[in-house]
Protein backbone atom coordinates (compact mmCIF):
# COMPACT_ATOMS: atom_id res chain seq x y z
CA UNK A 1 0.00 0.00 0.00
CA UNK A 2 2.83 2.43 0.85
CA UNK A 3 4.40 1.98 -2.59
CA UNK A 4 1.09 2.71 -4.34
CA UNK A 5 0.56 5.84 -2.25
CA UNK A 6 4.15 6.89 -2.95
CA UNK A 7 3.70 6.53 -6.72
CA UNK A 8 0.46 8.54 -6.65
CA UNK A 9 2.22 11.17 -4.53
CA UNK A 10 5.00 11.34 -7.11
CA UNK A 11 2.43 11.92 -9.84
CA UNK A 12 0.88 14.67 -7.74
CA UNK A 13 4.31 16.25 -7.40
CA UNK A 14 4.36 16.66 -11.18
CA UNK A 15 0.84 18.11 -11.03
CA UNK A 16 1.77 20.76 -8.49
CA UNK A 17 5.00 21.60 -10.32
CA UNK A 18 3.13 22.12 -13.60
CA UNK A 19 0.38 24.10 -11.85
CA UNK A 20 2.98 26.29 -10.16
CA UNK A 21 4.43 27.17 -13.55
CA UNK A 22 0.99 27.99 -14.93
CA UNK A 23 -0.02 30.06 -11.90
CA UNK A 24 2.21 32.94 -13.06
CA UNK A 25 3.35 33.84 -9.57
CA UNK A 26 0.01 32.85 -8.02
CA UNK A 27 -1.77 35.53 -10.06
CA UNK A 28 -4.06 32.98 -11.77
CA UNK A 29 -6.56 31.48 -9.31
CA UNK A 30 -7.31 28.06 -10.87
CA UNK A 31 -3.69 26.90 -11.30
CA UNK A 32 -2.92 28.34 -7.86
CA UNK A 33 -5.66 26.26 -6.25
CA UNK A 34 -4.59 23.15 -8.20
CA UNK A 35 -1.03 23.77 -6.98
CA UNK A 36 -2.09 24.03 -3.35
CA UNK A 37 -4.37 20.97 -3.38
CA UNK A 38 -1.85 18.81 -5.24
CA UNK A 39 0.98 19.99 -2.98
CA UNK A 40 -0.87 19.10 0.21
CA UNK A 41 -1.99 15.72 -1.17
CA UNK A 42 1.49 14.94 -2.49
CA UNK A 43 3.23 15.78 0.78
CA UNK A 44 0.59 13.92 2.77
CA UNK A 45 1.08 10.82 0.64
CA UNK A 46 4.85 11.07 0.97
CA UNK A 47 4.51 11.35 4.75
CA UNK A 48 2.19 8.32 4.79
CA UNK A 49 4.59 6.24 2.70
CA UNK A 50 7.51 7.18 4.96
CA UNK A 51 5.81 5.39 7.85
CA UNK A 52 6.75 2.08 6.17
CA UNK A 53 9.56 2.99 3.76
CA UNK A 54 13.01 4.39 4.51
CA UNK A 55 13.16 8.17 4.16
CA UNK A 56 15.91 8.15 1.54
CA UNK A 57 14.20 5.56 -0.66
CA UNK A 58 10.77 7.18 -0.39
CA UNK A 59 12.11 10.64 -1.13
CA UNK A 60 14.22 9.49 -4.08
CA UNK A 61 11.27 7.64 -5.64
CA UNK A 62 8.92 10.59 -5.05
CA UNK A 63 11.31 13.11 -6.57
CA UNK A 64 12.23 10.77 -9.44
CA UNK A 65 8.63 10.20 -10.47
CA UNK A 66 7.78 13.88 -10.13
CA UNK A 67 10.83 15.02 -12.07
CA UNK A 68 10.36 12.58 -14.95
CA UNK A 69 6.67 13.36 -15.32
CA UNK A 70 7.25 17.12 -15.08
CA UNK A 71 9.84 17.06 -17.85
CA UNK A 72 7.74 14.65 -19.95
CA UNK A 73 4.74 16.98 -19.61
CA UNK A 74 6.85 20.01 -20.57
CA UNK A 75 8.22 18.18 -23.62
CA UNK A 76 4.74 16.99 -24.63
CA UNK A 77 3.27 20.50 -24.44
CA UNK A 78 6.21 22.03 -26.29
CA UNK A 79 7.44 24.06 -23.31
CA UNK A 80 10.73 22.20 -23.38
CA UNK A 81 12.62 20.78 -26.36
CA UNK A 82 12.84 17.03 -26.82
CA UNK A 83 16.23 15.42 -27.33
CA UNK A 84 17.57 11.90 -27.39
CA UNK A 85 19.90 12.68 -24.49
CA UNK A 86 17.05 13.99 -22.33
CA UNK A 87 15.07 10.84 -23.02
CA UNK A 88 18.12 8.72 -22.18
CA UNK A 89 18.71 10.51 -18.88
CA UNK A 90 15.01 10.40 -17.94
CA UNK A 91 15.11 6.65 -18.66
CA UNK A 92 18.04 6.38 -16.27
CA UNK A 93 15.99 8.07 -13.54
CA UNK A 94 13.13 5.64 -14.20
CA UNK A 95 15.61 2.77 -13.97
CA UNK A 96 16.83 4.09 -10.63
CA UNK A 97 13.29 4.31 -9.27
CA UNK A 98 12.53 0.75 -10.40
CA UNK A 99 15.84 -0.41 -8.93
CA UNK A 100 14.99 1.12 -5.55
CA UNK A 101 11.69 -0.76 -5.56
CA UNK A 102 13.38 -4.03 -6.48
CA UNK A 103 16.02 -3.84 -3.75
CA UNK A 104 13.58 -2.82 -1.05
pLDDT interval class at 4 (50, 70, 90): very high
Question: Structurally, how many domains does the chain consist of?
Answer: 1
Q: How far apart are the first and last CA of the chain?
A: 14
pLDDT per position as a tens digit, 28-47? 999 999 999 999 999 999 99
Query: Are 62 and 10 spatial neighbours (Cβ–Cβ below 8 Å)?
Result: yes
pLDDT in tens, 41-78: 999 999 999 999 999 999 999 999 999 999 999 999 99
User: Which residue range(s) make up the domain with 73?
Assistant: 2-103
Amino acid sequence: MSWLVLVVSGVLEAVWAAALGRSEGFSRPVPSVVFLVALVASMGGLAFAMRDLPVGTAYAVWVGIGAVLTVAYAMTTGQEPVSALKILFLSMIIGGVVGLKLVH
